[in-house]
């Protein structure tokens, strides 16, 4: 989704801790494979920037580099960390603006992600099935929480939705039984089907709303209407000033 597929080459070093690779003909991924950044694989783009396409390392705490040999790391590609079993924490740097679809899907031990506010797009299913993730403070740069972004994050109990968010798509937080309340601003103007407060009930063989799920919002907002239509609890205290201070 990043328009990758241009001329590629091995970058010889990243600071003093990375080991040189070798050029395979005139093409090849940038493989940063030593020290604390073990296992990053990048691909170049035409505007002299690069995208992280895959992580093959074994570190538990991962800090994605902001630049590699002077090139900005601007994105995390689709499925870059999909199915990873070792990573527990990820720090995303300021140059990254885009996180691809299913980028961290089923990274079952991931419990913490630190976003920079320059992130403006998080793809569908980006954190789907991250069963150890407990909280998420979304970057202020995003306007949409896309379909199934946090679906199946069963340990997720706290989410901060920033003021800029206008749309929460279908099943964005589906199957998150630990997330029993959420605060939404008046700027949210669209909420998709089963975006909040829903999960699958095995015994009933169907999707059901979570009993006691609460939305903190103001009257006359889309969030208020959504809560009423789904039969959720409402807290209509003047909470937005608190939310804004948190973000």
- Pairing verdict, β 30-32 and 40-44: antiparallel
- Could you tell me the maximum CA-CA distance found in the chain, to the nearest angstrom? 64
What is the pLDDT at residue 45? 87
Q: How far is CA 224 from the centre of its chain?
A: 26
Q: Is the Cβ–Cβ distance between 218 and 195 less than 8 Å?
A: no
User: CA 126 to CA 141: how far, in whole Å?
Assistant: 16
What is the pLDDT at residue 46? 80
SS3 4: coil
Burial class (CB in 10 A: 0-12, 13-18, 19+), 80: buried
Low-confidence ranges of the chain (pLDDT < 70): 1-38, 237-247
Tens-place pLDDT, residues 27-77: 335 555 333 346 999 999 888 899 999 999 999 999 999 999 899 999 999
Contacts with 242 (C-beta within 8 Å, 6 or more apart), sequence order = 183
Contacts with 67 (C-beta within 8 Å, 6 or more apart), sequence order = 73, 95
What is the pLDDT at residue 244? 46
User: Which H helix or E strand runs over 72?
Assistant: strand 71-76
Q: What is the residue-wise DSSP string for 7-43?
A: -------STTT------BTTB--EEE-SGGGTTEEEE
- Pairing verdict, β 71-76 and 67-68: antiparallel
Q: Is the Cβ–Cβ distance between 195 and 182 less than 8 Å?
A: no
């Amino acid at each position: 989704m990043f328009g990758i597929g241009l001329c590629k080459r091995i970058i010889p070093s990243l600071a003093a801790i990375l080991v040189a690779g070798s050029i395979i003909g005139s093409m090849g991924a940038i493989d940063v494979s030593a020290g604390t950044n073990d296992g990053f694989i990048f691909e170049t783009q035409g505007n002299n920037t690069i995208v992280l396409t895959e992580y093959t390392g074994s570190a538990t705490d991962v800090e994605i580099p902001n630049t590699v040999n002077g090139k900005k790391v601007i994105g995390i590609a689709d499925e870059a960390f999909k199915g990873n079993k070792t990573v527990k924490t990820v720090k995303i740097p300021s140059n990254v603006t885009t996180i691809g679809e299913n980028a961290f899907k089923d990274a079952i031990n991931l419990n913490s992600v630190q976003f920079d506010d320059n992130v403006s797009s998080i793809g569908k299913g980006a954190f789907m099935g991250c069963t150890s993730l407990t909280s998420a403070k979304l970057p202020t740069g995003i306007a949409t929480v896309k379909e199934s972004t946090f679906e199946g994050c069963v340990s997720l109990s706290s989410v901060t939705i920033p003021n800029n968010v206008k749309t929460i798509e279908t099943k964005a937080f589906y199957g998150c039984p630990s997330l029993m309340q959420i605060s939404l601003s008046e700027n949210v103007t669209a909420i998709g089907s089963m975006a909040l407060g829903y999960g699958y009930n095995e015994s009933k063989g169907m999707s059901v709303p979570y009993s006691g799920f609460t939305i903190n919002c103001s009257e006359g907002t889309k969030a208020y209407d959504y809560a009423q239509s789904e039969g959720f609890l409402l807290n209509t205290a003047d909470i937005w000033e608190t939310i804004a201070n948190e973000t």
